[in-house]
Structure 1
Amino acid sequence: MTHDAVIVLDCGATNVRAIAVDVKGTVLAKASQPNITVPAEENPDWHQWPVEGIFEKFSDCCRQIMKDISPERIKGVTVTTFGVDGALIDRQGNPIYPVISWKCPRTNDSLQHLKQYLDPDKVVTESGVGHFAFNTLNKLIWFKENRPELLADAHGWLFISSLFNHKLTGRLTTDATMAGTAQLTDLKSQTFNTRILSAIGIESDFFPEMVQAGEMIGHLLPEAAAKLGLPAGILVISSGHDTQFAVFGSGAEKGQPVLSSGTWEILMVRSSEISGLAPDMFDNGFTCEWDSHKNHYNPGIQWLASGVLEWVGRQFYPDVTGSEKYKKMISEASAVPEKSHGITFNPTFLPDGNGRTHGAISGLSLNTERGAIYRSALEALSKKLKSSLHQLEQIGQFSASEIILVGGGSKNPLWNQIKADTLQLPIKILKESETTVLGASMFAMSGAGLYDSPEAARVAFDIQYETIQPNV
């Protein structure tokens, strides 16, 4: 067969992957390599993303999967990744400073300094994006206050997905779904907010031309094609922020809540309207990003989730490594009764608006075993989900009858059951776990002309679910 598949390059916080998907939604092949931040030269506690290293991993993974796939089958390629992160660039599109990771603590002070430039309440209500230290706005404030010469010399800014798209095509663009995460835009008009930008001394043309999901960016350059093991000249299609494509790829209709569970858990709903945003709504992780479709929205609430569980694994299971670690953790926690022998866990590990953290474990005794601590973390995160769903129902004026669950967290059967029991709602889990990749591939196929629309691709994929019923 010819031209019946696309390649999705997926850069996650944990893994860098290349995945081939055909027009029926079948994952033909995939390969991954671990992703990790590197320390900054100025401070070993600062986190940065090694863009060149990530692209090399993309290349290695793509060449690996292409050993089993005829190159003639590949119609296009697309890139999806986490939001907010990016780099200042020169006129050739090359970064002039490394990509500051969302994990980096250096922007905590920038968040505290925001009020020196803008009214924080207006920023959240106009942009729709809540106050998080890792927001792109806070990164730019950090440059303004700490490296003003770089900000003055920069030709512009590329989000991390567009850094890779530039390497693929040579074109400077801005993926729309990435812009919608930045706290630099206007929610309703879905353009860059000139008032926010001017307050930090930036013009709208600092960001290259915006492209919508499913829009063609260009053709794969010969040099990039050789690295990836793909034919030169194939189409490069815009996708962008992974969460939006996980939501669309889950099969969710408007008003149907989707929980994307990974390093972060993000509970979102697709909506064609958004109104009545008030500053106090943003106090507990609420944010409203741009949907994968223009002029649509994804109101949602986010919190650190598997990132907390990874911390539990590092602290209490250092003797277990690799794929056996979580099997061991789940096995030991499954033997612990509900309520974890009285252990309570506060999973609020990130600093609040005042820079304070509240993470805690209480109820410990000399008889406490590590399985109880892990289970208490799962229960605490599930309670966070319940309170977040209640808040989102009030904001979105809907009543959930079920939750669609996607992402890496959906592979944890114990956590899935605890969620269903805590919510007393069915949890629907896609049988194909690669939801972000499926969603991105739907837009890539639409942009490449394999389907008339992403919706047509989604129908053809025939999404199937496993349903977890709550125990009464």
Structure 2
Amino acid sequence: MSGQGKLVLGIDLGTSGARAVAMTAAGEIVASGAARLTAFSDDHRDPLGWWKAVQAALAQALEAIDGSHICAVGIDGTSGTMLPVAADGAPLATPLMYNDPVGDTAILERIAVHAPKESAAHGATSGLAKLLTFQSLPEVFRVIHQADWIAGHFTGLYDISDENNALKTGYDPVARNWPEWLARTGARIDLLPDVLPAGAPVATISPAAAEAFGLPSETVIVAGTTDGCASFLATGADRPGDAVSALGTTLTVKMLSDKPLFAPEFGLYSHRIGDMWLAGGASNTGGAVLAAHFSNDRIAELSEQIDPASDTGLDFYPLLKPGERFPVADPAFMPRMEPRPTEDAEFLKAIFEGIAGVERLAYERLVSLGSPALGSIRTVGGGAKNGVWTEIRKRRLVVPFLPVLSEEAAAGAARLALSGAKEAGVL
């Protein structure tokens, strides 16, 4: 271990479990650990289960390294997951998860009236709606985000958040403050955490946490981020124009920009990361359309019959049903998947081409909204493994396709820890 020098830790608390990685100053992952939430609790809303999963994942990672080399820790959590806490961090109610909607229409109406249209605080699953739900509880000290709560176990501070997690709670990332309109919604401003830039040093580790994990007393805990932002950072994308396409059930595109992009009609807002902005959109096209027609094995078989260097001449916009979010915002937008070629391989090729066309349109939309020109693409998700599809995409997008350093959100949290360690002067 002496040859690896100082290390940082990244911790990711996701929807199904926790992961931890140890990373060198050069960005190399040298140890990792994982734990499923179900191993500790039958309820994914159980904060004690969250913490036990984090402890288990971290312990597993630390088994493979010398913990005395750790100098900083970064943490990400699910965006929009909120819980009310006492001053010592004790949860005062069952948390509301990222996808738990608030059903109180009066709360939602107050937000709709007072929040600017470009704010990410709109909607029944926003952090602000959850704050308004929890704020009348007796003895409430703060209403904080999942990542804030986990970080509090390392610092003893339960009143600090980051600019990424705070976005859906109404934080203004351009002015870098909690805006004055929040009070007009009835929100108790005194219950909001202080906000730091993602990756900024928060505090050194508490004596209790240092002893529990065998970490140095000077270990710096940095302000965290959301799981989505961490997953982007994990890929290695770090310059304006760098983009990441996620080819999963749906198609998601994200790009680093030198200016913030806000387009509420597309559900588009921007996270502030350092001196850059992370913006993106999600289409309804993607792997779900492929799965509706072919099994994975059949896709692999048919892909061997496809020549990616030629075009079908078809103009598909593959959707399972009417309605699109991005790059077109139209709930009545109709799928285009006709005429269907008689050969299955040609039909699959036309779908590949169609999704690649939507991907190109998505990046063109970001540019039209003010992003820099698309400079490079890194690809994650199941679709990234299909070489034929990749070649079709390369022909459509005409930019360098770069390797992904990691698809682990924990690696993105570790990269924030590297940044914070440098800022704090411990690396």
Task: Give the TM bin, normalised by the shorter chain.
Answer: 0.7 to 0.9
| Correspondence for 1:185 | 171
Query: How far off its partner does 1:391 sit?
Result: 1.3
In structure 2, do the counterparts of structure 1 residues 298 and 334 end up closer, same or farther at CA, with 3 Å as the change threshold? Answer: same
* 3-state SS of paired residue (2:414): helix
Whole-Å separation in 1 of the counterparts to 2:86 and 2:19: 28
Q: Which has the higher contact order (CA 8 A, sep 6+)?
A: 2
| Correspondence for 2:269 | 287
- The letter for the 1-side match of 2:29 is V
| Correspondence for 1:69 | 65
* Correspondences of 1:334-373 after superposition (within 5 Å): 334-335=303-304, 337=306, 345-346=318-319
Q: In the alignment, is the contact (CA less than 8 A) between 1:382 and 1:419 conserved in 2?
A: yes
- Is structure 2 residue 190 aligned with structure 1 residue 212? no
Q: In the alignment, is the contact (CA less than 8 A) between 2:46 and 2:94 conserved in 1?
A: yes
- Is structure 2 residue 9 aligned with structure 1 residue 7? yes
Query: How far off its partner does 1:27 sit?
Result: 0.8
| Correspondence for 1:301 | 280
Query: How far off its partner does 1:20 sit?
Result: 0.7
Q: In the alignment, is the contact (CA less than 8 A) between 1:245 and 1:437 conserved in 2?
A: yes
- Is structure 2 residue 83 aligned with structure 1 residue 101? no
Query: How far off its partner does 1:340 sit?
Result: 12
* 3-state SS of paired residue (2:31): strand
In structure 2, do the counterparts of structure 1 residues 404 and 99 end up closer, same or farther at CA, with 3 Å as the change threshold? Answer: farther
- The letter for the 1-side match of 2:264 is F
* Aligned match for 2:376, one of 400, 403, 420: 403
Deviations 1:92-126 (A, max 9, x none): 2222233323333x34x568974454437x5233x
* 3-state SS of paired residue (2:360): helix
Query: How far off its partner does 1:165 sit?
Result: 0.4
* Correspondences of 1:69-468 after superposition (within 5 Å): 69-104=65-100, 106-107=101-102, 114-119=108-113, 123-125=116-118, 127=119, 129=120, 131=122, 133-140=124-131, 143=133, 149-150=136-137, 154-195=140-181, 197-221=182-206, 224-225=209-210, 228=213, 230=215, 234-245=219-230, 247=232, 252=237, 254-259=239-244, 261=246, 265-271=252-258, 273-274=259-260, 281-289=263-271, 291-293=272-274, 296-298=275-277, 300-303=279-282, 309=287, 328=297, 331-332=300-301, 334-335=303-304, 337=306, 345-346=318-319, 381-396=355-370, 398-400=372-374, 402-405=375-378, 407-408=380-381, 411-414=384-387, 415-430=389-404, 432-434=405-407, 436-449=409-422
User: What is the aligned length?
Assistant: 414
- The letter for the 2-side match of 1:420 is K
| Correspondence for 1:464 | none
Query: How far off its partner does 1:449 sit?
Result: 4.5
| Correspondence for 2:23 | 21
Whole-Å separation in 2 of the counterparts to 1:229 and 1:374: 53
Deviations 1:338-362 (A, max 9, x none): 779998632689997x997989796
| Structure 2 portions without partners, runs of 5+ | none
TM-score normalised over the length of structure 1: 0.70
Deviations 1:78-98 (A, max 9, x none): 212332222122232222233
Whole-Å separation in 1 of the counterparts to 2:40 and 2:347: 30
* 3-state SS of paired residue (2:98): coil
TM-score normalised over the length of structure 2: 0.76
| Structure 1 portions without partners, runs of 5+ | 42-47, 318-325, 458-472
Query: How far off its partner does 1:21 sit?
Result: 0.4
* 3-state SS of paired residue (1:396): coil
Q: In the alignment, is the contact (CA less than 8 A) between 1:262 and 1:305 conserved in 2?
A: no
Q: Which moved more, 1:409-418 or 1:355-364?
A: 355-364
Query: How far off its partner does 1:241 sit?
Result: 2.4
